């Protein structure tokens, strides 16, 4: 059965204590964190705030040891049955679910994190950056360094502008996609997170 990813390239994952049945937390996983979790013994998530893989318990020592993993009937939610080493929540509580919702919430907070496909592609670039698989064009660019990647961005920007100036609407989407891809590789090589760019764009909405 295939895992269905959302617009951000992620799938929600519920961690449940295999011993008590209590729900411990809700996290998100991308293909990279799913791979590390299933092939290893402890749970990895994808941190949307840090925009990177997150080994749960790496800081606190309260790891979630995987016992079973299940997909729901639609393939869009994962259930992780785990044996926790300690409290799961960063507050020190056993579970992250300790705030009762007794009526309407006090308010709502916008957590929009930018276009989904760009975040998904950036996560793939990060995976290549960590694992450096042979034969990968992304790895080849990263190995050549920021200067070479920056040169590619300039080249792709020129090709995009030329296609637009010539009215070549058939090839323009492909040229824009090439420009965005190489820009994401440049961001990863420079240590820039997409959220930093989304923030700049949000600040300019006015």
pLDDT, average across residues 49-57: 88
Torsion, CA 177, CA 114, CA 97, CA 54, rounded to 10: 50
pLDDT, average across residues 80-105: 93
Banded pLDDT at 111 (limits 50, 70, 90): low
Q: Give the predicted TM-score (pTM) of the model.
A: 0.64
The pLDDT, as a whole number, for residue 110 is 61
Kindly give, in sequence order, each residue whose CB lies less than 8 Å from that of residue 205, ignoring residues fewer than 6 positions away.
none
Kindly give, in sequence order, each residue whose CB lies less than 8 Å from that of residue 3, ignoring residues fewer than 6 positions away.
11, 31, 34, 71, 75, 76, 78
Q: Are 45 and 80 in contact (CB under 8 A)?
A: no
pLDDT, average across residues 33-53: 91
Taking the C-alpha atoms of residue 10 and residue 51, their distance in angstroms, rounded to an integer, is: 11
The pLDDT, as a whole number, for residue 113 is 58
Q: Which residue has the tokens 């308010």?
A: 107
Beta bridge partners of 53: 46
Identify the CA nearest to 147 among candidates 189, 118, 111. 189
Taking the C-alpha atoms of residue 72 and residue 76, their distance in angstroms, rounded to an integer, is: 7
Write down the mean pLDDT value for the chain. Answer: 92
Tokens encoding 168:
């070549």
Residue 32 sits at φ, ψ, to 5 deg, of: -65, -45
First to last CA, the chain: 45
């Amino acid at each position: 059965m295939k895992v269905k990813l959302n617009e951000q390239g992620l799938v929600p994952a519920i961690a449940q204590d295999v011993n008590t049945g209590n729900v411990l937390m809700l996290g998100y996983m991308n293909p990279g964190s799913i791979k590390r979790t299933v092939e290893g013994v402890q749970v990895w998530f994808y941190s949307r705030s840090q925009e990177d893989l997150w080994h749960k318990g790496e800081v606190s020592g309260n790891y979630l040891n995987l016992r079973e993993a299940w997909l729901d009937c639609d393939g869009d939610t994962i259930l992780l049955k785990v044996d926790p080493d300690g409290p799961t929540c960063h507050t020190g509580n056993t579970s992250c679910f300790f705030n009762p919702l007794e009526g309407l919430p006090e308010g709502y907070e916008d957590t929009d994190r930018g276009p989904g496909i760009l975040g998904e592609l950036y996560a793939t670039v990060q995976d290549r950056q960590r694992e450096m698989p042979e034969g990968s064009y992304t790895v080849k660019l990263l190995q050549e360094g920021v200067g070479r990647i920056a040169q590619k961005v300039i080249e792709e920007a020129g090709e995009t502008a030329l296609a637009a100036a010539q009215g070549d609407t058939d090839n323009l989407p492909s040229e824009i996609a090439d420009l965005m891809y190489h820009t994401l590789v440049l961001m990863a090589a420079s240590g820039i997170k997409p959220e930093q760019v989304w923030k700049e764009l949000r600040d300019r909405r006015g």
